Amino acid sequence: MEKERLARYLVAGPQDYAQLTLAEFTERIVTLMQAGITLYQFRDKGYTYQNADERLQLVQKLVHLGQQFNVPVIINDDLDLALTVQAAGVHVGQDDLAIEQVLRHKSANFWVGLSVRNLTEMKAAQALAVDYLGVGPLMPTQTKVDAAPALGLRRLKTLLEHNHHATVGIGGIKLSDLKSLAQSGLDGVAVVSLLTQAPDPVAMVQAMRKSWQTNAK
Ligand code: TZP
Ligand code: MG
């Protein structure tokens, strides 16, 4: 995976658009794909489907749309689902599936991302053949209920000194944070609410692109 893919990484599921139907949710994701997000993670924590088939159909559709709009779709946590729908990859946290087990499925066409929350996890991750790391939460966030304490910019920089992987930051990221995050050496930002709650999501994607391109190392 090229690290440029991480520049504008949208993480979202139907629970992040609580008032919308699944069809409307899909439309929002398509709009963001067309607007210029570079990667999309399907993360449906806390959402209740009518049945398993509804979830499968939704994800299959999103994967096809991602292929159409050149935005690879990564599945959060669910390795079996990711393999079933031939997603671009899977993202797991430290408390999810064993990373060694997930890495058995890694290939040029199936990427593996891992979350790290602190220096211990960052150091341990250096021995793993993952495609990218997600580091965070960087700032306090309302979006993830079981989020670890926020790292802040200073600790982020320390973590990055011990890192050779392509890396995206996540957690509480606002547009005004992009300048310092781009300068920190991160390869991109992963956001939920910045895009799902933006009054003008298309303009927000464009503003993210501009800020990143102006300030990235
Ligand atoms: N993992 C760490 S923080 C977070 C996840 C999924 C939520 C980020 O959401 P937001 O709205 O961008 O703070
Ligand atoms: Mg997880």
Cα separation, 5 vs 114, whole angstroms: 15
Let me know if residue 216 belongs to a domain. Answer: no
Task: Kindly give the distance from the C-alpha atom of residue 152 to the centroid of ligand 1, in angstroms, as a whole number.
Answer: 14
- pTM here is 0.97
Task: Kindly give the distance from the C-alpha atom of residue 115 to the centroid of ligand 1, in angstroms, as a whole number.
Answer: 11
Task: Give the domain extent around 130.
Answer: 3-211
What percentage of residues in the chain have a pLDDT greater than 70? 100
Q: How many CB atoms lie within 10 A of CB 40?
A: 25
Cα separation, 208 vs 174, whole angstroms: 9
Let me know if residue 190 belongs to a domain. Answer: yes
**How far is residue 109 from each of residues 51, 126, 128, 216, measured CA to CA in Å?**
29, 21, 18, 27
| Both tokens assigned to 158 | 């320390």
Q: Is the previous residue joined to 140 through a cis bond, with omega within 30 degrees of 0?
A: no
Q: State the pLDDT at residue 204.
A: 98
Alpha helices (H) along 36-135: 52-68, 79-84, 99-103, 119-125
What pLDDT, in 10s, does the model give residues 101-114?
999 999 999 999 99
Q: Is the previous residue joined to 137 through a cis bond, with omega within 30 degrees of 0?
A: yes
Number of domains observed in the structure of the chain: 1
Q: State the pLDDT at residue 83.
A: 98
Let me know if residue 137 belongs to a domain. Answer: yes
Is residue 94 marked as binding?
no
Let me know if residue 103 belongs to a domain. Answer: yes
Let me know if residue 191 belongs to a domain. Answer: yes
Let me know if residue 217 belongs to a domain. Answer: no
Q: State the pLDDT at residue 166.
A: 98
Burial zone of 191 (CB within 10 Å; 0-12 exposed, 13-18 middle, 19+ buried): buried
Is residue 202 marked as binding?
no
Neighbours of ion ligand 2 (CB under 5 A): 77, 93, 96
Let me know if residue 160 belongs to a domain. Answer: yes
Nearest CA to ligand 1 atom 13: 172
Nearest CA to ligand 1 atom 3: 171
What's the DSSP call for residue 150? Answer: P
Could you give the ipTM of this predicted complex? 0.98
Cα separation, 59 vs 53, whole angstroms: 10
Q: How many CB atoms lie within 10 A of CB 134?
A: 25
User: With 90 as the cut, is the pLDDT of residue 96 above it?
Assistant: no
User: With 90 as the cut, is the pLDDT of residue 53 above it?
Assistant: yes
pLDDT band at 217 (very low <50, low <70, confident <90, very high): confident
Inter-residue contact 77 to 49 (CB < 8 Å): no
Q: State the pLDDT at residue 114.
A: 98
Task: Kindly give the distance from the C-alpha atom of residue 100 to the centroid of ligand 2, in angstroms, as a whole number.
Answer: 15
User: With 90 as the cut, is the pLDDT of residue 29 above it?
Assistant: yes
What three-state secondary structure class fits 154?
Answer: helix
Q: State the pLDDT at residue 113.
A: 98
Share the mean pLDDT of the chain: 97
What pLDDT, in 10s, does the model give residues 109-163?
999 999 999 999 999 999 999 999 999 999 999 999 899 999 999 999 999 999 9
Let me know if residue 149 belongs to a domain. Answer: yes
Mean pLDDT, rounded, for 91-104:
95
Cα separation, 79 vs 202, whole angstroms: 30
Q: State the pLDDT at residue 50.
A: 96
User: With 90 as the cut, is the pLDDT of residue 64 above it?
Assistant: yes
114's CB contacts (< 8 A; 6+ apart) are 91, 92, 93, 94, 99, 125, 128, 130, 132, 133, 134
CATH number, position 165: 3.20.20.70
Mean pLDDT, rounded, for 190-201:
98
